[in-house]
Amino acid sequence: MHLRKLLIPFLIFAEVLISLSSTQATPTNSKLFREYIGAEGKNVRFSDVPIYPNVDFHFILSFGIDYTTSISSPSPTNGNFSVFWDTDNLTPSQISSIKAKHRNVKVAVSLGGDTVGDDKYVYFQPSSVESWVGNAVSSLTKIIDEYNLDGIDIDYEHFVGDPEIFSECIGRLITTLKRNGVIEFASIAPYEDDAVQNHYLELWRNYADVIDYINFQFYAYDRSTTIPDFLKYFEIQSSNYKGGTVLVSFGTDKSGGLKPNNGFFTACRRLRREGKLNGIFVWSADDSKASGFPYERQSQVLLGSHHTCSRYPRLPCELLG
C-alpha cells in the first residue's frame, strides 16, 4: 500500500516530463457516441434509446435528401432538401424534449443516404456548384432551424459528376453553414469503395479544416472481418483521413464488419489503450429497438468509464484508482 502511494506521484511526474518533452500531441480517447435514427420507419423514438450521462451523445436523423418526396418516382432537386426520416416519431418538440432532459445530447441530420422511395439510389447530382450550394444552404437552414439541430452529416453514396464538384459543393455548404452560425459541427460518412473514397478524399484534401468527424462505415467491410483485420482497417483509414477524428462503428442490422459478438469491443479496448478511440457510432437505432439496445449500452459504458484516464495515457488506470 505504502509503495503504491509513493509510486503514483513519481509516475505522474515522469509522465508530465515525457509529455512536455514530446514534439507531438499525445493521443487521447474520446467519449463521443453517435447513432443514426429514423430511416426505417420502425417507430423508434429518442426516448427509447438509452442515454448515459458521462458520454457526448449525438443522434443523427436519417435522412435529409434533395429529392422529391414521390414514393414511386423520386427525382433530384438540386440541393432543395426535404425531410425523409420518421416525422411521426422524431418531431421538433421531441428533439427539444430529449435535449432538455439530457444536456449531453445533440442532434444532427444526415444528408443523402443509399436509397429513396422504392429503393432507388440517391445520387449526388448538382446542376452546378453555385445553384446547388445556394439551394442547399437555404433549404437546410430552414430544416435545421425548425428542428433545432446542431450539425450535419454527409452520407452520399452514389454520384453523378466528378469528385471535384462534390468537394466544392459539400465543402462550401459546410463552410457557409458554420460561418452563418447554423451548425456547430459536420461529419462525413465514407466507406471502402473506390468511387466513394475518390469523392470523400477529394473533399478531405480541400476542406478538412471544416470537417469535425469521420463516421467511417467499418460495417461495410466483409462479414468475416476479424479483430486484426478491423485494427488494420482503422489504421488505413486514419492514414487516408490523416489528422481527422475517425470514429469506429458497427451495424445492428445484417451489414458486415466486426460485430459486437465477434470482438468489436475487444478491438475498441485495444484502441483505447493506445489513445486512439475517437468515439463509436452505430447504424442504427431502428434496428436495435427490437433487442433493447444492448450494444448501445455497452458502447457508452466503454466510452464513459475510461475517459478520466486520458490525462496520463501512458499510466495504467488501475494505479490512478
The yes-or-no verdict on residue 19 having pLDDT over 50 is no
> What is the CATH number for 163?
3.20.20.80
**Structural domain count of the chain:** 1
Q: Which three cell numbers stand for residue 69?
A: 418526396
Domain region containing 91: 30-305
The yes-or-no verdict on residue 310 having pLDDT over 90 is no
Mean pLDDT of 200-221: 98
Q: Does some domain include residue 2?
A: no
Residue 157 bears catalytic tag: yes
Q: Does some domain include residue 315?
A: no
Distances (CA, A) of 207 to 102, 167, 175, 203: 32, 8, 9, 6
Asked if 141 contacts 173 with a C-beta cutoff of 8 angstroms, the reply is no
pLDDT tens-digit map of 114-140: 999 989 999 999 999 999 999 999 999
- Positive or negative, the CA dihedral 48, 50, 53, 55 is negative
Mean pLDDT of 27-53: 95
Q: Does some domain include residue 13?
A: no
Question: What string of DSSP letters covers 48-76?
Answer: GS---TTSEEEEEEEEEESB---SSS--B
Spell out the alpha helix ranges (H) of the chain: 2-21, 92-101, 129-147, 163-179, 194-207, 227-240, 264-273, 285-288, 294-305, 317-320
Mean pLDDT of 238-256: 98
Average pLDDT, the chain: 91
Q: Does some domain include residue 162?
A: yes
The yes-or-no verdict on residue 266 having pLDDT over 80 is yes
In angstroms, the CA 251 to CA 82 distance is: 26
For the chain, the maximum distance between any two Cα atoms, rounded to a whole number of angstroms, is 74
Q: Which of 4-18, 150-164, 169-183 has the lowest mean pLDDT?
A: 4-18
The yes-or-no verdict on residue 41 having pLDDT over 90 is yes
Of 81, 207, 175, nearest in space to 136 by CA:
81
Q: Does some domain include residue 313?
A: no
The yes-or-no verdict on residue 300 having pLDDT over 70 is yes
The yes-or-no verdict on residue 320 having pLDDT over 50 is no
Q: Does some domain include residue 321?
A: no
AA identity, residue 13 = F
Catalytic-labelled residue, pool 15, 35, 146, 157 = 157
Mean pLDDT of 164-188: 98
